[in-house]
Structure 1
Amino acid sequence: MYDSFIQQLAGLDLSGLSIKPAPFDKTDFPCDDAIDQTLAGAWSDLFAMFADTALEADAEDIAWGFVNLFHRAASRKSSQLDRASDEIRALLACADGSEVHSSNLEEQIERAQAAEATMIAFERMRETAAALYLDEIGTSWRPMTGSRSNHSAQVTSAVINARDFLRVRAERRRAAHTPEGTPVVFAGGRSSFPTTDEAKAFAANVWATLDKVRDRVPDLFVVHGGDSKGVDRIAASWAERHDVQQLVFSLDRRLGARAGFKRNEQMLKLEPRYVIAFPGNGVLERLVIEAKARRITVVDRRGLTGSVSKSDR
């Protein structure tokens, strides 16, 4: 990661500029084992304290906040990296070859390197905490706003003409926010069941359906609406457990009653391989109709407890 970053900067053709090694390397940060063991221990002690007390009902909120600590720390470092990138852009625009200019540019590059390295370390901690959240709560962790991107999971090729660090930075940001593979849309509403057994059967049908679709589309990524209280939550948990990327289209509340239909349009523009439909409202019915009109295969699970719908038999 850091070597390629240096290579990307090495082509800066400015008089007097020398690209120094990154201020940090992997040995300057906690190792993976230390992160895993420390966070697991802290998590276990924290929630053992809540068990069988009046605070147990608030455990999910505390768990979410625990993960969010690292997410916010990574976001702050990402903002610092953006600011350093802006400074580099300004310095490149007024390059005069002087020693002072080169020194200022070197300083901003070092700031960018430090911010990126620290951002990736905090993202690693967030992902460890998110895995603990999944085990404890049973659903995927998501931030209140924005994306849960993971820059360390992306590989950015070295740029032959590495003068333009800013372009590489933009490409890396796009890669971190762009899932790879074949889109599969998952849709459904909020359901209630008279018995626990029926609720479990419904969840099992969701997982079984996603398993079957994944058998046909091994490189799928799941596109859903991100409803934390509906069937999307079950799909998100499945994706997290199976290391499948997710693309979430939240409702744009500013659109009022049109928000759901606009989201349908955005999802179908991805040209998904399948649309998986579980019971929902009229907006979902319209999604199914439009998908079929576009000759997109619909996996219809709108029957009782998420079983195969009559129209799909």
Structure 2
Amino acid sequence: MTQDRSRSISRFADLPALFAEMTATPEFQRAFGDPIPLSIIQPGDEPGEHDMPDPLHAQADCAGIIATIFDLLTDTRLDALAPEIAWGTVNSFHFVAGKLEKQEDAVVDELRDMMRRSEPSEVFNTELEEKQLLCQSLSEQREAVECMRDYAAETFRVLSGRPWSPARGSRVSKAATATQVSIQDFLRARELADRERYRPRGPIVVASGHAEWHDWQLLWDRLDSILARIPHMTLVTTAQRKGFDAIVASWAGNREVQLVTYSLTGSGRGAPFARNRKLVDLKPVEALLGEGSGIQANLYQALRKAGVPIHAFRKADQAPAEKVAPPERGRLRRVA
């Protein structure tokens, strides 16, 4: 693990001083500092020598883009919109990374097909070399965009107080320390041994509660006690974007615990209860439940029947909202 030489930041004005004392993180050095000699910018282009952005400039500007949004809107009547707009900006990196990954996968399939029908001709060999270079170029682009996305997401976490996560699917990369994946990828990884990036890292702890929940300290303290006993835990939530689940997700991002978001699949009134049954099927070792609707009550009963230890919280257990201080700003972490 790289030594943490960061210091706390909360405003855009803090960034110049912060970056003045920093060098580019290992992730940016890997993604931007050692480009392949020749690259193809997009399919159909000729190979050429193209520069990559400077690693430190790329790192600083990724943080600056997100921080500028908060600096502009905080303490104005648009304050509440800052996290939404910043989320969308991070998501644009995520969207492009996903698009590049699909293109890369398509080229890999073409390469496999070419290898199966290998021909001893100069034209075929030239086409094969260009296809390999295109695949390498797409991989390089994807890793660079993933690196920018992860740093922008970390800046979002620092300034919003909650981890960034995509609306659908998973966010994984070679540089990620705290990985958040969708339940579809999580379940698929249990069957496919080669999906190491999505593989759950440890015993499962389930968490679910009401969307109206404000006492974050109550939940963080209990989660910290669970983490002390189960240091390699994987946290599975019911994927609500505010309240109990959002507080739990924020803790996971802060403590670098793998988070699996189990969003609803299917429609109809029975979908949440079907999800509850599947949560129990994951064989969690513990559960953290907040008083909520009949969905949480049903999950409580199902987990209790399965013999899962449950940490149950009533709404009345919370401190009064006016006495709950907001969580302190995080740190912009340097991770290896």
Tell me the TM-score normalised to structure 1 length. 0.74
Deviations along 1:242-286, one digit per CA (max 9) or x if unpaired, are 11111111012x331111112112222221111111112222222
Paired residue for 1:301? Answer: 313
**C-alpha distance in 1, partners of 2:236/2:126?**
46
Residues 150, 176 of structure 2: 8 Å contact kept: no
Listed as ranges, the gaps of 5+ residues in structure 1 are 1-20, 155-169, 193-198, 308-313
| Residues 1:175 and 2:187 are matched in the alignment | no
Paired residue for 1:163? Answer: none
Listed as ranges, the gaps of 5+ residues in structure 2 are 1-35, 40-50, 178-191, 320-336
Paired residue for 1:116? Answer: 139
Residues 23, 113 of structure 1: 8 Å contact kept: no
Counterpart of 2:257, as a letter, is V
Counterpart of 2:243, as a letter, is G
Q: State the Cα distance separating 1:69 from its structure 2 match.
A: 2.0
CA, structure 1 residues 276+23, in 2 after alignment: closer, same or farther (shift >3 Å)?
A: farther
**C-alpha distance in 1, partners of 2:54/2:244?**
37
- Paired residues for 1:62-211 under 5 Å: 62-153=85-176, 174-191=195-212, 199=214, 202-211=215-224
Residues 70, 159 of structure 2: 8 Å contact kept: no
Paired residue for 2:332? Answer: none
Paired residue for 1:289? Answer: 301
CA, structure 1 residues 48+183, in 2 after alignment: closer, same or farther (shift >3 Å)?
A: same
Higher mean displacement: 237-246 or 292-301: 292-301
CA, structure 1 residues 29+178, in 2 after alignment: closer, same or farther (shift >3 Å)?
A: farther
SS in 2 for 1:223: strand
Tell me the TM-score normalised to structure 2 length. 0.69
CA, structure 1 residues 116+152, in 2 after alignment: closer, same or farther (shift >3 Å)?
A: farther
Alignment RMSD (CA, Å)? 2.6
**C-alpha distance in 1, partners of 2:54/2:203?**
34
Q: Percent identity between the aligned chains?
A: 31
CA, structure 1 residues 40+152, in 2 after alignment: closer, same or farther (shift >3 Å)?
A: closer
Q: State the Cα distance separating 1:236 from its structure 2 match.
A: 0.6
| Residues 1:44 and 2:56 are matched in the alignment | no
Residues 273, 296 of structure 1: 8 Å contact kept: yes
Alignment length (residue pairs): 260
CA, structure 1 residues 31+306, in 2 after alignment: closer, same or farther (shift >3 Å)?
A: farther
Paired residue for 1:10? Answer: none
SS in 1 for 2:284: coil
More relative contact order, 1 or 2 (CA 8 Å, 6+ apart)? 2
**C-alpha distance in 1, partners of 2:299/2:37?**
49
Higher relative helix content: 1
**C-alpha distance in 1, partners of 2:175/2:67?**
27
Q: State the Cα distance separating 1:29 from its structure 2 match.
A: 4.6
Q: State the Cα distance separating 1:82 from its structure 2 match.
A: 1.2
Paired residue for 1:18? Answer: none
Residues 70, 83 of structure 2: 8 Å contact kept: no
Residues 188, 231 of structure 1: 8 Å contact kept: yes
